[in-house]
Structure 1
Amino acid sequence: MPDVPRGPSGGRRGWAAIARDLAELVRAPAALSVPGDVIAGAAAAGTLNRRTPGLAAASVCLYWAGMAANDWADRELDAVERPERPIPSGRVSPRAALGLAAGLTAAGVGLAAWVGGRRGLATAVPLAATVWAYDVKAKNTAAGPAVMAACRGLDVLLGASGGRAAKAVPAALTVAAHTYTVTALSRREVSGADATLPVATLAGTVAVAATAAGASRRKGWRAVLPVALAGWYLTHYGRAQARAAAQPDAARVRAAVGSGITGLPTLQGTLAARTGAGVTGLALAALAPLARRLVRRISAT
């Protein structure tokens, strides 16, 4: 039996502690925001079927890979700005983080190919490449928010890969626009921001909510539900951005980023409900409160 890895002080560490460190590395609770991309895309393309859970699992693998690669790429910066994170604190080695990122990438691409065939593979490969491009190259450049937005847009299209993907493009662009606002804010979650940034992202969020609610040809509760869910999304994420605009210090900006991440299932639920998948939309939106509870234990940012 291999030795239990040792912590920074040299003492043996239990497997439960190791699992928690890895969960912190990959921002495990934030993965609740990921399956909804695939589900929203599948709903838009009319392909919500037995393949969707497998594609959602592939998406989660790629998301976790991106989080591990992010911390591996940022290990020197984090040693200065966030020394409590798993790698700079010595709880996870850079080699282990890189290996985990590579393994999860392979698992995500392989699962997408197994479940979604050639079309699933054709979307998963550029998605994985974009994730890695963001982490190791684009993140700290002006293109960073756009590249991350492309990751989420491709994630939505992964869900639509079994049908007419063109039908899912509006949903993909909506999720991408939301992601752009979150990523733009995240670049100031350590240093704080000028008030113009959260004001601008709040304006974008209002537009995203209005677009997601859309105009429905359906009647009754199915017509009202997308509007209600869009309002919920706007209230949760918008309020956090308004607070950051009033006091744009690092804590408020970081809280807005967290709200953007945990509020994404509500937006995804709105998009699913707009296609007529009302029950699915409600189920997705219900993940948002759960995500908020979990991130109190393990940070999503």
Structure 2
Amino acid sequence: MRAAGAGGTSEVSRARVLSAWAELLRLPALFTVPGDALAGAGALSARPDHRTLLAIGSSLCLYEAGMVLNDWADRAEDAAERPHRPLPSGRVSPTAAFTAACALTAAGLALAARAGRPALTIAVPLAATVWSYDLALKHTPVGPFAMGTARGLDLLLGAAATAGHTRPALSSAAFLATHTCAVTTLSRQETHEGTPTAALAALATTGALAWLLQRPLAPGWPPEQRSPNLRSPNLRSPGGQSPGRQELPGPAGGRRPAHRLPTPVTAALATAYASTTARPYLHASLNPSPPLTQQAVGAGIRAVIPLQAALLARSGATATALLTAALAPVARRFARLVSIT
């Protein structure tokens, strides 16, 4: 009986440790990460492959490194404002947290290196941005822009790993970076009574991005044909026209590229993106209290998934977009067990 009791105590202790680390790592937020690399690959009309999976693995490691480092850097502040967090409560030691952040960063860079030099070229500044934000920039005016930059670089990591270049993915990266910047600005009011300004700005930003997602695409978009030869995507037909590019009669008998209208799937996902945050942002603007602000920030984090899916659908990767969108209810369900903020 005594041995059984000791075993039960050990299992309870182990469960508490795992629960503390799940809270420190903010595990539900992990579901918002794979779509970054997938959207980066989709922006280049490249099919995801094993390099894309390596980029996703790298992103997951660097994202979690940032989560752990964030709490390590804020442990004194959290002791006063959020003493229930894993570090100030003593459930995870600062040494263990910092070691984990270093190990996760090293793992993320190693996975990026396996994906190729272009991916590593993006992963290094991404890791540097994560560490700079957590250790120096978070409480400065450029903090939200640093966080947005990190998210944009994460999308470019997927593009670099999959197709070896990033330029056509800059537009998608800008969408993701802008959303992240708005949510990060709002998150600064999570622990104290704030003003309606940040929530209203986030609401306006979401509306603008949702509208832009449904605008007709520029002529010649997407930039290249999906092809098994992902390292040579800019194939052209014998007539010199990019495959898949539509043309309309132009003046003087010439031809001009047609604007491509977003598909119904893109419109639906853009609407899902906006609806995920509209009510929480509005509530936080009417009553900018910490609980409502935290709910709004959580909604903003979860809204990354339909935003990624809309960007994929906008690039023509409908199947991948729907698979990415399917992560949203899973993230919402896990967020009921572990806080996402």
**Within 5 A, what are the aligned runs for 1:189-204?**
189-204=190-205
Which residue number in structure 1 is paired with residue 265 of structure 2? 225
Deviation at 1:13, TM superposition (A): 5.7
Deviation at 1:63, TM superposition (A): 0.3
Encode CA deviations 1:122-170: one digit per residue, 9 max, x unaligned: 0101000000000000001111100000000100100110423110000
Matched residues in 1 for 2:276 and 2:302: separation?
A: 9
SS of equivalent to 1:160: helix
> What are the ranges of 5 or more consecutive residues in structure 1 without an aligned counterpart?
1-10
**Within 5 A, what are the aligned runs for 1:110-189?**
110-114=110-114, 116-161=115-160, 162-163=162-163, 164-189=165-190
What one-letter code is carried by the residue in structure 1 that aligns with 2:282? A
Which residue number in structure 2 is paired with residue 33 of structure 1? 32
Matched residues in 2 for 1:54 and 1:70: separation?
A: 24
Deviation at 1:12, TM superposition (A): 8.9
- State, as a whole percentage, how many aligned pairs show the same letter: 46
The question of whether the paired residues in 2 share the 8 Å contact of 1:240 and 1:252 is answered with yes
What one-letter code is carried by the residue in structure 2 that aligns with 1:70? N
**Superposition TM-score, scaled by structure 1 size:** 0.92
Encode CA deviations 1:227-282: one digit per residue, 9 max, x unaligned: 11001110111221011111111111110000011111000000000011111111
Matched residues in 2 for 1:277 and 1:32: separation?
A: 19
Task: Flag as ranges the 4+ runs of structure 1 deviating above 6 A.
Answer: none
What one-letter code is carried by the residue in structure 1 that aligns with 2:192? S
What one-letter code is carried by the residue in structure 2 that aligns with 1:46? S
SS of equivalent to 1:214: coil
**Superposition TM-score, scaled by structure 2 size:** 0.82
The question of whether the paired residues in 2 share the 8 Å contact of 1:213 and 1:271 is answered with no
Relative to structure 1, the CA distance from residue 49 to residue 134 in structure 2 (aligned partners, 3 Å threshold; closer, same or farther) is same
Which residue number in structure 2 is paired with residue 268 of structure 1? 308
Relative to structure 2, which stretch is displaced further, 286-295 or 149-158? 286-295
**Within 5 A, what are the aligned runs for 1:258-297?**
258-297=298-337
Deviation at 1:35, TM superposition (A): 0.9
The question of whether the paired residues in 2 share the 8 Å contact of 1:182 and 1:257 is answered with yes
Deviation at 1:23, TM superposition (A): 1.4
Matched residues in 1 for 2:172 and 2:11: separation?
A: 48
RMSD across aligned positions (CA): 1.6
The question of whether the paired residues in 1 share the 8 Å contact of 2:45 and 2:317 is answered with no
Matched residues in 2 for 1:235 and 1:46: separation?
A: 27
Deviation at 1:204, TM superposition (A): 1.0
Which residue number in structure 2 is paired with residue 44 of structure 1? 43
Q: Does 1:244 align with 2:263?
A: no
| Corresponding pairs, count | 289
